[in-house]
């Protein structure tokens, strides 16, 4: 599809600097721009490329200051990154949508499915499942007994949703994700053998939740593992049994949360963050990549780093010391030699 700068600016509520009739039919990174492409500049680190890019249109923030001639037509908006995301959503919606029920696939006669269902080949909908309107379930997906899926949700290939789990409206579950597998519950008996504790709860995904590929959300031992509205999880994330993740919290790849931990709203966790069991994490907490969180974080808006995770300003000071440890060791060794020589001289006197 082709769009003029004028049409894009109208859609975004932006203002044009340059040719309003220039046309784009593709998108590109600003540093890799080409004629007919649309790019955006949000991070000042990439500002140098706006003067050399071959992109035809570049979205910029309203406060961007031009310091040299620019070939591209600029569209100024309040937030260039968000505006670019809006355009990508518009583009995605314009693509041909899957529809219909492919064969072979299976819908149990006790299941209830809404209007405009897409069901891919080899997908399976089990007993008493309830599927909302405009749901897309791609090939090889499995929907277990008594599962409920809300309207406008997308289930990508090879997703498995175990029995009794609930998925809300407008959710996206990417390929290979598993919702509702057993939590890791075992009891050690007198014979030192581990005996399985049946996991009889479920997992609940509220509205507007997105789950990355190969992510696992365990069912609760009793009750529910809950991802509140707007939670976004990257690929290869693990959420253990009876965890509750607050609204609009996001986690990057390979993060893991141990059992029964309660995480607040609007938190952000970097890649490979590990959070211990039975903890409480306050609203708005941010944890840098590979942070290990072994205890409660009670202060809202805390920013932590390292393992064990501590306040980021303290961690930065510690890191400044760490990198100097070899030099400090050598200096300590030299001081020890000097002290030894002084002791020897004093003893000789």
151, β-bridge pairs: none
Q: Give 194's pLDDT tier (boundaries 50, 70, 90).
A: confident
- Domain ranges for the chain: 3-94, 100-313
The mean pLDDT value of the chain amounts to: 93
Predicted confidence (pLDDT) at residue 188 exceeds the cutoff of 90:
no
- For the stretch 134-177, pLDDT in tens is 999 999 999 999 999 999 999 999 999 999 999 999 999 999 99
Of 95-104, 188-197, 204-213, 230-239, least confident by mean pLDDT is 188-197
Predicted confidence (pLDDT) at residue 179 exceeds the cutoff of 80:
yes
Better-predicted residue by pLDDT, 306 or 95: 306
DSSP helix/strand/coil, 44: helix
Q: Residue length, the chain?
A: 349
Of 74-88, 291-305, 312-326, least confident by mean pLDDT is 312-326
- What's the rounded Cα separation, in Å, for the pair 73 and 78? 17
Q: Are 41 and 50 in contact (CB under 8 A)?
A: yes
Of 110-114, 189-193, 286-290, least confident by mean pLDDT is 189-193
| Options 236, 238, 241, 278, the catalytic residue | 241
Give the pLDDT confidence score for residue 309 in this predicted structure: 87
DSSP helix/strand/coil, 42: coil
**Mean per-residue pLDDT for 127-132?**
98
Predicted confidence (pLDDT) at residue 295 exceeds the cutoff of 90:
yes
Domain 100-313 in this protein, CATH class: mainly beta
- For the stretch 307-347, pLDDT in tens is 888 888 788 787 777 788 888 888 888 888 888 888 888 87
The CATH classification number of 3-94 equals 3.40.1390.10
Which residues touch 336 (CB under 8 Å, ≥6 apart)? none
**Mean per-residue pLDDT for 77-88?**
93
- For the stretch 42-52, pLDDT in tens is 999 999 999 99
- What's the rounded Cα separation, in Å, for the pair 53 and 337? 61
Q: Give 57's pLDDT tier (boundaries 50, 70, 90).
A: very high
- What's the rounded Cα separation, in Å, for the pair 167 and 227? 10
Predicted confidence (pLDDT) at residue 10 exceeds the cutoff of 80:
yes
278 is catalytic: no
Q: Which of 63, 85, 88 is nearest to 74 (CA)?
A: 63
Share of the chain above pLDDT 90, in %: 79
Q: Give 191's pLDDT tier (boundaries 50, 70, 90).
A: confident
**Measured distance between the N- and C-terminal CA atoms of the chain, rounded to whole angstroms:** 94
Give the pLDDT confidence score for residue 40 in this predicted structure: 95
> Which pTM value belongs to this model?
0.83
């Amino acid at each position: 599809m082709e769009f003029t700068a004028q049409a894009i600016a109208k859609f975004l509520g932006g203002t044009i600097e340059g040719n309003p009739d220039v046309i784009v039919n593709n998108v590109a990174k600003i540093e890799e721009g080409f004629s007919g492409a649309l790019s955006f500049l949000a991070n000042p680190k990439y500002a140098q490329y706006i003067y050399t890019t071959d992109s035809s249109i570049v979205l910029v923030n309203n406060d961007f200051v031009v310091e040299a001639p620019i070939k591209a037509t600029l569209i100024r908006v309040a937030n260039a990154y968000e505006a670019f995301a809006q355009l990508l959503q518009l583009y995605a919606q314009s693509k041909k949508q899957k529809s219909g029920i492919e064969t072979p696939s299976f819908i149990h006669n006790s299941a209830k499915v809404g209007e405009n269902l897409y069901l891919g080949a080899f997908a399976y909908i089990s007993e008493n499942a309830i599927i909302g309107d405009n749901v897309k379930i791609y090939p090889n997906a499995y929907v277990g007994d008594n599962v409920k899926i809300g309207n406008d949700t997308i289930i990508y290939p090879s997703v498995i949703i175990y029995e009794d789990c609930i998925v809300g409206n407008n959710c996206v579950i990417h390929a290979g994700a598993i919702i509702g597998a057993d939590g890791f519950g075992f009891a050690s008996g007198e014979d030192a053998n581990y005996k399985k504790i049946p996991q009889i709860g479920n997992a609940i995904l509220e509205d507007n939740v997105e789950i990355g590929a190969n992510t696992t959300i365990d069912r609760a031992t009793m009750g529910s593992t809950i991802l509140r509205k707007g939670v976004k999880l990257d690929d290869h994330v693990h959420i253990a049994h009876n965890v509750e993740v607050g609204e609009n919290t996001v986690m990057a790849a390979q993060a893991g949360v141990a059992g029964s931990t309660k995480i607040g709203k609007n938190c952000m966790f970097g890649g490979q963050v590990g959070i211990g069991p039975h903890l409480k994490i306050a609203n708005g907490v941010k944890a840098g990549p590979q942070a290990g969180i072994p205890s409660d974080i009670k202060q809202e808006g805390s920013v932590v780093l390292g393992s064990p995770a501590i306040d980021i300003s303290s961690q930065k000071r510690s890191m400044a010391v760490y990198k100097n440890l070899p030099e400090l060791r050598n200096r300590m060794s030299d001081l020890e030699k000097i002290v030894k020589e002084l002791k020897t001289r004093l003893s000789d006197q």
